[in-house]
Amino acid sequence: MSVHHSNPLPPHWDIFCTVVDNYGDIGVTWRLAKQLASEYGIPINLWVDDLLSFSHILPLLNPAKSQQEFNGVNIFHWENPIKIEYEAGAVIIEAFACELPSQVKSIIGQLHIQPDTQTPIWLNLEYLSAEKWVDGCHGLPSTQPNGVKKWFYFPGFSPKTGGLICETQLFKQRDQWQADPKHKLALFEQLGLQGINAQDRVISVFSYETPALTALCELWQASSTPIHALIPKGRSLHSLSSLLPCAIADLMPGQQFTLGNLTIHILPMTDQNDFDRLLWSCDFNIVRGEDSFLRAQWAAKPFIWHIYPQEDDYHLVKLQAFMQIYCDNLAPEIATTWSEVNSAFNCGDTNSVVMHWQQLNSVSLPLTHHAIKWPINALNDADLASRLVQFVNNC
């Protein structure tokens, strides 16, 4: 008796990403694409609608090319309609509910009704949230108009979610980096930053606009010891125009401004590997959105999360949910201080952010210990890519 198999699809996975604004959507999908290719040997086609934005975090990318390869990932310029002949692979991921091209949807539908042919596994990769409801929604299917099930894949912090993006070797690489201060000094030099000594306090700033940042910089000016704030050209600087001697448009990476004991350094944008190393090299990181938020956690350093603002202040609910799990086994006085700094920064409360920042200084040692322990707890044994591959195998 012969066993009947349906024709397998080509083994590649397609990941579709639209760049809404900022770098988070492409930042997350690019990390995932790189990891699936390098750790699982999966051929990845990454379709991106805005290569110019992408090139800010992958400076070697040529925005004029319709197809190019980096880190074993095939990067396609996603034009609508798709100009390159499209062949569906085993898995199709739409990142953050971006609408798949109609050609792709109809090909999935056709494959579904053809006898003896596999249907691609179709997933929507959602935004990361620490809210409890994510446990119940991760992995649910929804039947689409073309008759095919689309699965909702939710990243998250609990074992019932889709996990968090984290490369297998990342913590080992970070530990090696942090074991020797010459690594951070070499990075600062490579980035064109001058005058930073090994014992100086260094804070990276990658936030949105907020008066809380202005207030913190004013406070740092009056610090009794040197503080360096490393800030890429972008949204954070819009909150500092009153402190800068020239227009933001005229700022150049490598420039620095001294205000009392605070030195503001203008950072170049780097690729994601150097951005990670930057976070590993600083004493404190102010990060935002989704990807830098997670990378600051993996850096094992204390941080402020400037969450992406949403309608009706819904982002404050998400912030609260994260703060609750981050502070779960933290002594109450440390938990309160750290949470108050984060809330004040996000609400633009200048008095409160200054007051709680000063209190944060007195708990900086136990907070750093917590930051070192946190990544292992947060991962819950399995990172996102490994849970995703498992999920697909079980579909």
Ligand X SMILES: Cc1cn([C@H]2C[C@H](O)[C@@H](COP(=O)(O)OP(=O)(O)O[C@H]3O[C@@H](C)[C@H](O)[C@@H](O)[C@H]3O)O2)c(=O)[nH]c1=O
Binding site for ligand X (CB under 6 A): 20-25, 27, 57, 127, 206, 232, 269-272, 275, 288-293, 308
Q: How near is the Cβ of 69 to ligand X at its closest, in Å?
A: 19
CB 366 within 8 A of CB 327: no
CB within 8 A of 256, min separation 6: which ones? 193, 194, 195, 263, 264, 265, 266
Q: How near is the Cβ of 286 to ligand X at its closest, in Å?
A: 11
Cα separation, 135 vs 383, in Å, equals 16
Cβ-based nearer residue to ligand X, 232 or 375: 232
Cβ-based nearer residue to ligand X, 57 or 148: 57
Q: How near is the Cβ of 57 to ligand X at its closest, in Å?
A: 4
What's at 279, amino acid-wise? L
Q: Of 25, 340, 349, 383, which is the active-site residue? A: 25
Cα separation, 54 vs 48, in Å, equals 8
Cα separation, 56 vs 162, in Å, equals 28
Cβ-based nearer residue to ligand X, 46 or 363: 46
Cα 41–chain centre separation: 22
Beta bridge pairs of residue 232: 267
CB 354 within 8 A of CB 215: yes
Between strands 141-143 and 149-153, the pairing is: antiparallel
Cβ-based nearer residue to ligand X, 108 or 294: 294
CB within 8 A of 307, min separation 6: which ones? 288, 289, 293, 315, 316, 318, 319, 346
Q: How near is the Cβ of 349 to ligand X at its closest, in Å?
A: 21
CB 80 within 8 A of CB 101: yes
* Nearest in space to 279 (alpha carbons), one of 256, 304, 259, 248: 304
Q: How near is the Cβ of 200 to ligand X at its closest, in Å?
A: 21
175 phi/psi in degrees, rounded to 5: -60, -40
Cβ-based nearer residue to ligand X, 70 or 308: 308
Q: How near is the Cβ of 295 to ligand X at its closest, in Å?
A: 7
What's at 171, amino acid-wise? F
Cβ-based nearer residue to ligand X, 29 or 119: 29
Q: Which residue of this chain has its Cβ atom nearest to ligand X in the complex?
A: 24
Q: Of 49, 126, 276, 290, which is the active-site residue? A: 290
Take residue 140 and report the two structure tokens written for it. 């649910």
Is 25 catalytic? The answer is yes
Is 180 catalytic? The answer is no
Q: How near is the Cβ of 10 to ligand X at its closest, in Å?
A: 29
CB 214 within 8 A of CB 353: no
Cβ-based nearer residue to ligand X, 25 or 340: 25
Beta bridge pairs of residue 1: none
Residue pointed to by tokens 């170049």: 268
* Nearest in space to 341 (alpha carbons), one of 363, 362, 359: 359
* Nearest in space to 71 (alpha carbons), one of 48, 94, 39: 39
Q: How near is the Cβ of 5 to ligand X at its closest, in Å?
A: 40
The radius of gyration of the chain from alpha carbons, rounded to an integer in Å, stands at 22
Cβ-based nearer residue to ligand X, 112 or 235: 235
Query: Catalytic residue positions?
Result: 25, 290
